Amino acid sequence: MNHSLPSMRKRYLHKSQTGLVGFLPILVLGVLTISIIMLSSYLSREGVSFDIREQAVYEQICPGSVSAYPSSCVVTEGATAPCQDIKISWDFPGCQNVTVDGTGVGIPGGPLAYGNSGSFFTDVYPPGADFYFYANAGSDQINHLRVNARHQSTSSPDGEIRVSPRPCQICSGGGLSATCTVRVEWSIWNAKKPRVMIKLAGLPKTEWDNKTTGVSEYELRNNTLFKYVWFGVYDGYTLLDSADSFIEYVGCNG
């Protein structure tokens, strides 16, 4: 009996170690899931509007990219003039018969443009305009772009923030060293406590107080922590305006 105890102990330890190894993938998956939920909850609280699920559906139909510069605009309170010269751009290299439609005050009916890639300038009236991109002569929607326009208050706290580019493109085969640079511009009016907040996914937020105007640049990288950036301008703890950008993968030659 005494001679069998060491072998029994070895078998028990072996089973315990095997069970621990089998449990590790479940533990790692659980930690990652909780981290994603926490990040999503934070971004939702901060007013982030990017819908990853919607973009994923579009990518399955026809990969490509769309952008507007500026992505939002402000006109003087009471003015009837629009935001002028908003540049709408798109690129869908693998799609057939791409058309661009739009809805909003002052946007003409019918297709606004044709072609797999291109750009045009347009005026946008408050509260904004939506642009829809279709493939196969209008039968399949492949993307959607919203440009917000609003009136600037002349007395109440207000602010504007612009981000470019959105999305920020890198080559899909660029490896972990691939980067792209996001430029942000902001203005804050009539605020008692002007505040700017920057949140790079995976890092603590950065805050600047008493900076009513400014320009800055941030580098997004091809890794888990730095694929997304969010900006907000505040009066104290009241959010006045926000904008974001994120990495989009594109095929590159060479």
* pLDDT for the residue 52: 41
Q: Residue 182: name the closest of 99, 67, 103, 39 by CA.
A: 67
Q: Are residues 162 and 138 in the same domain?
A: no
- CATH code assigned at 208: 2.60.40.1930
* pLDDT tens over the chain, length 254 residues: 455 544 544 454 444 455 545 556 565 555 555 554 444 444 444 333 444 444 445 555 677 888 888 878 888 766 678 888 899 999 888 888 899 999 998 898 889 999 999 999 999 998 889 999 998 877 788 888 888 888 877 778 888 888 888 778 887 776 767 888 888 888 898 899 999 998 887 677 888 888 888 888 888 887 766 788 889 999 999 998 888 888 887 766 55
Query: In the beta sheet, which residues pair with residue 180?
Result: 220
Q: Are residues 84 and 168 in the same domain?
A: no
Q: Which of 100, 121, 152 is the last residue of a domain?
A: 152
Biggest distance spanned by C-alpha atoms of the chain: 96
- Cα dihedral 221, 175, 248, 84, rounded to 10, equals 60
* pLDDT for the residue 115: 92
Q: Return the SS3 of 195.
A: strand
Q: Which of 109, 137, 152 is the last residue of a domain?
A: 152
- Cα dihedral 165, 171, 175, 177, rounded to 10, equals -40
CA distance between the termini of the chain: 71
**Domain tally, the chain:** 3
Q: Return the SS3 of 54.
A: helix
Q: Are residues 28 and 93 in the same domain?
A: no
Q: Which tokens go with 28?
A: 């790692």
Which residue shows structure tokens 């950065």? 206
Q: Are residues 134 and 60 in the same domain?
A: yes
Residue ranges making up the domain that contains 30: 2-43
Q: Residue 89: name the closest of 60, 55, 112, 56 by CA.
A: 112
Q: Residue 46: name the closest of 253, 244, 248, 247 by CA.
A: 244
* pLDDT for the residue 98: 92
